[in-house]
Amino acid sequence: MPTLHSTPLDVSAQFGADAQALVTQMAQGADPLADALTAVLMTGPRSLADLLQRGMAQGHAALPDAPPEMAALLQQAQTRPSWANAQQVQRGVDAYLGIGALWLGIALGPGSLAHTYSSPSVARVLIATANLKDRAMRRLQETANWQYHTMRPGSLEPGAPGYVHTLQVRLLHARVRANLLAQGWNVAERGLPINQLELMRTWLDFTAVPFHAMGKLGIEFTPEEYQDLYHAWHGVAHLLGIEERYYRRVHDQASGEAMLALIDAASGAPNADSALLTTHMLEAAGQRLAPLMQIPPDVAVGLMQGFCRLIHGDEMADRLAVPRTWWAALMPTFANANRYQRLLQRQDAQVHGSKVQATLGAFDQLIDLLKGETTYQRNLNPQATVHALPVSLSEAEQA
């Protein structure tokens, strides 16, 4: 399998002659429901935040006197799309959990987040929040925490943890967008912050990018498994406020990588912000995963750099200032071990089931390690400062 950035894809074969028009449409849209509700939360009484939390847990019908903006977002979120198939979602979640916590962690940092940061517009927003440069470990943990709550059986159902956490992330996006615009964000030059194009790109960073990474690491999927995986993640896209006309175009790995190539072409080359964020993230990822791998942190950081180069290719890794190290020589060993483990899982349902349960157990342990509220949870805290960009908890505040 080629790296994501090394081989141009024929996007017209997937999206037709309107491919570039599709990019323009996505760049011009944001999330009207979340933006309208955020405006109410930022100007109304702080008790509205508590009301919203209750509505996310119990449904919009439990809030007969809620502002119309709140009722509209909750109703959209909890309305099951016509395409949704509960059994296929469950199969997708099962396939995802079969990857294992360690390799999902590796796919998240060197895979997903490295690609997220390669977009100069995304990097600009993240640097503006001061969250990912100075508090890389905390933000990595929070992103993983959202993932651990979301991709598990039944967690996207209304009121379930993944449902609530994903809506909280959606409203954090809207809050950042509102504050950046209020601070004079140049829309004519930069486009809307966190627009549909960037939301779709981020969603692909949790689907097309890690699924591609898994293939490079010896964890492969059948065509049917890819369809199930994307179907499960369609439910996440629905809750994140991505428009159905965009995410439903991506239903397997071929269409996922084609959409990613289309968006990457419009995003521009990584800049200095991209490289800075990637450096901090790989260091944090290595320190975080060292205990799981039972190796020293400095060795784990070197491995994260090697995984990043394997997943994205040398050209992109060079642009992200990822060092070239001898750890890259170990990548085939990891891939071969994973292929053998994958073979055992496919031959024995009990082995696969044990892997899924082990992943869920690891998720629970890692969730327990996170101290204090996440940034997306604090955004809806009645005591939050509404007219400032959200900032992650510092180490002292987590104590």
Give the largest CA-CA distance in the chain: 62
Residue 28 to residue 15: CA distance in whole angstroms: 19
| Predicted local confidence at residue 2, as pLDDT | 37
Q: If DSSP codes are grouped into helix, strand and coil, which group holds residue 221?
A: coil
| Predicted local confidence at residue 140, as pLDDT | 87
Give the dihedral sign, CA 362/364/370/375.
Answer: positive
**CA proximity to 322, closest of 132, 104, 113, 124:** 113
- CB within 8 A of 277, min separation 6: which ones? 117, 123, 126, 127, 132, 133, 136
How many alpha carbons fall within 13 Å on the CB side of residue 29?
Answer: 20
- Are the CB atoms for 35 and 178 separated by under 8 Å? yes
| Predicted local confidence at residue 8, as pLDDT | 47
**CA proximity to 213, closest of 283, 131, 316:** 316
Give Cα separations from 333 to 107, 198, 211, 390 (angstroms): 17, 35, 19, 42
Residue 164, number of CB atoms within 10 A of its CB: 20
Residue 385 to residue 87: CA distance in whole angstroms: 42
- Are the CB atoms for 268 and 119 separated by under 8 Å? yes
Residue 77 to residue 241: CA distance in whole angstroms: 8
Residue 28 to residue 279: CA distance in whole angstroms: 31
| Predicted local confidence at residue 122, as pLDDT | 80
In the numeric block, the tokens 């959200």 are attached to: 390
| Predicted local confidence at residue 7, as pLDDT | 42
DSSP state of 81: P
Residue 399 to residue 393: CA distance in whole angstroms: 10
Cα-Cα-Cα-Cα torsion 335, 341, 345, 350, nearest 10 degrees, comes to -150
- Are the CB atoms for 86 and 231 separated by under 8 Å? no
pLDDT < 70: residue spans in the chain = 1-17, 129-134, 382-399
In the numeric block, the tokens 């349902």 are attached to: 349
- Are the CB atoms for 166 and 87 separated by under 8 Å? no
pLDDT tens-digit map of 62-96: 999 999 999 999 999 999 999 999 999 999 999 99
User: How big is the CA angle at 285 (ends 257 and 333), to the nearest 5 degrees?
Assistant: 70
Q: DSSP readout, 122-174?
A: HHHHHHHHTHHHH-HHHHHHHHHHHHHHHSSTTTTSTTSHHHHHHHHHHHHHH
- CB within 8 A of 230, min separation 6: which ones? 92, 207, 250, 251, 252, 256
Cα-Cα-Cα-Cα torsion 209, 214, 216, 218, nearest 10 degrees, comes to -170
**CA proximity to 139, closest of 35, 9, 288:** 288
- Are the CB atoms for 19 and 30 separated by under 8 Å? no
User: How big is the CA angle at 310 (ends 306 and 311), to the nearest 5 degrees?
Assistant: 120
